[in-house]
């Protein structure tokens, strides 16, 4: 069986305009997880996921009171790995039972930490949006995005997924669905043979691509809030793309068609994956995961002839 990585965007749990209640998040998860459960008949699967809304909410919660100690961002990332991992696991368990695969398929959330470079320029120039979007600027450190004003934090590039061997071994066993690289992974640097967490959030798509490279995954599918990659997004001459070659992806990325904080990292992730020997990469919506794998939806990333 081929190994498929499905990278779920933040909207898999909290859609734009929602409060992000537990009930909303569980309800939203059923859309991608029901498809992933079906796909488990055909693929070995690794699920990765974002955590922007959740980690942003944790930051707001601890800023709302002086009666609890403040936890650094890397600890909050670890917390969301457990939080979202539980929600995915419990939803996956129910969906596997519905189709009679609960005895055949095992699943596990792996606390994942990721090596980053302490000299990465991202620490000087934060670009990663987290937390809710506001119609107006409410605090320093916010930038205007397509969805509104959001806080941004450093987002260094992932250099290595430390748990890749364990994940690869589970894929080789064939019966496991692994949840990993939650929120892009816990960012760490290595100094004198010790690992130290750093205040940052790694982009989950770039981390997913790095994990795919390390475990030798065949397919990388990035699920987001649009069905297809588009040129001139949001403009009258918007053009949705069914196919996108690696060379064109590089060209459009350089031209600024895919900005940081939105489609840019996704495009870079699929470029990295395909150039590292990946068989297939797809970008599509949460609702179209299964259709996109059948070639009926999404943007298919293709190698140049």
Q: Are 292 and 243 in contact (CB under 8 A)?
A: no
Instruction: Tell me the C-alpha distance between 262 and 258, whole Å.
Output: 7
Active site residue 11: yes
The single residue of 105, 115, 210, 266 carrying the catalytic annotation is: 266
Catalytic residue among 9, 10, 184, 185: 10
Phi-psi region of 141 (alpha: psi -120 to 50; beta: other; left: phi over 0): left
Selecting among 9, 11, 182, 288, the annotated active-site residue is 11
- Which two three-digit tokens encode residue 289? 């995961």
Exactly one of 105, 115, 128, 288 is catalytic; name it: 128
SS3 assignment, position 153: strand
Is residue 204 part of the annotated active site? The answer reads yes
Phi-psi group of 36: left, alpha or beta (phi > 0 → left; psi -120 to 50 → alpha; rest → beta): alpha
Q: Please list the residues that pair with 189 across neighbouring strands.
A: 196
Phi, psi of 188 (to 5 degrees): -135, 155
- For residue 5, CA distances in Å to 89, 165, 178, 241, 297 come to 16, 15, 9, 22, 17
Active site residue: 105, 204, 228, 288, which one?
204
Is residue 10 annotated as part of the catalytic site, yes or no?
yes
- Cβ-in-10-Å burial (0-12, 13-18, 19+) of 93 comes to middle
Active-site residue 228, yes or no? no
141 classed as catalytic? no
User: Which of the residues are catalytic?
Assistant: 10-11, 128, 204, 266
């Amino acid at each position: 069986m081929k190994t498929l990585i499905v990278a779920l965007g933040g909207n898999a749990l909290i859609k734009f305009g929602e409060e992000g209640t537990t009930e909303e998040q569980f309800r939203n998860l059923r859309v991608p997880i029901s498809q992933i459960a079906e796909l488990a008949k055909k693929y070995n699967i690794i699920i990765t996921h974002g955590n922007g809304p959740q980690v942003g909410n944790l930051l707001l919660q601890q800023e709302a009171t002086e009666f609890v100690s403040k936890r650094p961002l890397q600890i909050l990332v670890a917390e969301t790995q457990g939080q979202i991992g539980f929600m995915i696991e419990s939803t996956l368990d129910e969906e596997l039972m519905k189709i009679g695969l609960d005895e055949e398929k095992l699943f596990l959330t792996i606390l994942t930490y990721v090596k980053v470079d302490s000299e990465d320029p991202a620490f000087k120039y934060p670009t990663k949006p987290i937390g809710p979007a506001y119609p107006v600027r409410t605090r320093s450190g916010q930038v205007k995005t397509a969805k509104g004003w959001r806080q941004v934090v450093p987002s260094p590039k992932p250099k290595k997924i430390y748990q890749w061997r364990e994940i690869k071994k589970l894929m080789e066993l064939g019966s496991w669905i692994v949840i990993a690289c939650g929120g892009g992974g816990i960012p760490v640097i290595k100094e004198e043979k010790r690992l130290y967490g750093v205040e940052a959030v790694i982009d989950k798509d770039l981390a997913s691509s790095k994990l795919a490279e390390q475990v030798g995954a065949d397919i990388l599918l990035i699920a987001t809030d649009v069905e297809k990659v588009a040129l001139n997004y949001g403009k009258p001459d918007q053009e949705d793309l069914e196919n996108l070659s690696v060379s064109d992806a590089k060209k459009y990325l350089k031209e600024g068609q895919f900005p940081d904080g939105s489609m840019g990292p996704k495009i870079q992730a699929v470029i990295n994956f395909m150039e590292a020997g990946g068989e297939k990469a797809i970008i599509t919506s949460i609702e179209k995961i299964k259709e996109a794998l059948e070639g009926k939806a999404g943007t298919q990333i293709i190698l140049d002839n």
